[in-house]
Amino acid sequence: MNDLTFTGKEHLLDLIRKACAASDSQATMAILRDGLSALITSKKVFLPECVYEPVEGHYARREIYKCPETGVSVVAMTWGPGQGTPIHDHCGLWGVEGVWQGEIEIVQYELLEDEAERCRFERLTPVMGGVGSSGCIIPPHEYHTIRNPSPDKIAISLHIYKDSMGDCSIFEPLGDGWYGKGRKLLCLDPVDCE
C-alpha cells in the first residue's frame, strides 16, 4: 500500500522516519504520539476520502501506508455509530492511536489471571478521546477496547503499529467474571481511493 497518495502524506512519512530513528521503542512511541496529535490538529494531512465511509456490520480497517524498510504500518479505522471491539491485545506490538474525527471511548484492562483458555481482568476507567487526542499501547499493558459511543456520528482513528497486525487475541465474557480467550484474524478493508 506504499503507493497510495493523499494530501500531506509527506508530513506523516517525515514523522515516521523521525520516530524510527529514535534510540528505543519508548522514544519512538513518544515522538509518534506527540507528532500524530500535532498532525491531526494542524490539518496538514488529509486522509483519503474512502476512510470516511463506514462498513456495515464492523468497523473498517484500511492500511494507508506500510514502510518497506521498518515494517511500520498506518491503519485508518472508521467506526460507524456504536461500533467497537471486544477486549483485545496487540500481540506484543506497540501502537500509537490518534482520534481523527468524532470521539472514541478507550477502556484499558489489566490482566489479573491467565489460564489456558480463560482470563480475568480489572477494568480501568474509560477515557474519552476527542479530535487530536492520542495515546500509546505498550505491551504487556496492551489489553483494551475501543468504540464509537455516538448513536449517529462516524468516528475515525489513525493507528500506527510497529508492524502489520494480522491477528490478535480477543476476550469474550463468560458471565462469571472470566473471559474466554480466542484469536481473531484482522482483515483489511479495501482502499478504494484512486
In contact, 169 and 77? CB cutoff 8 Å: no
pTM, to two decimals: 0.93
Per DSSP, the three-state class of 157 is: strand
Q: Where are the domains of the chain?
A: 9-185
**Cell 464492523 identifies what position?**
58
pLDDT reported for residue 40: 96
- pLDDT computed for residue 179 by the predictor: 97
Instruction: Give the per-residue pLDDT at 194.
Output: 52
**Could you tell me the strand order of the sheet in which 73-79 lies?**
60-66, 73-79, 155-161, 95-101, 134-137
- Residue 2: the pLDDT is 47
SS3 61: strand
CB 147, CB 79: distance < 8 Å: yes
| CATH of span 9-185 | 2.60.120.10
What sign results for the dihedral spanned by CA atoms 111, 25, 46, 74?
A: negative
| CB atoms inside a 10 Å sphere around CB 25 | 14
Beta bridge pairs of residue 127: 106
What pLDDT sits at residue 191? Answer: 83
* Residue 3: predicted pLDDT: 64
CA 40 – CA 144 distance, rounded (Å): 23
pLDDT at 193: 60
What is the residue-level pLDDT of the chain in tens, covering all 194 positions?
A: 446 889 999 999 999 999 999 989 999 999 999 999 999 999 999 999 999 999 999 999 999 999 998 999 999 999 999 999 999 999 889 999 999 999 999 999 999 999 989 999 999 999 999 999 999 998 888 999 999 999 999 999 999 999 999 899 999 999 889 999 999 999 999 887 65
What pLDDT does residue 29 have? Answer: 94
User: CA 136 to CA 10: how far, in whole Å?
Assistant: 22
3-state helix vs strand vs coil in the chain, percent to 5: 20, 40, 45
What's the pLDDT score for residue 1? Answer: 44
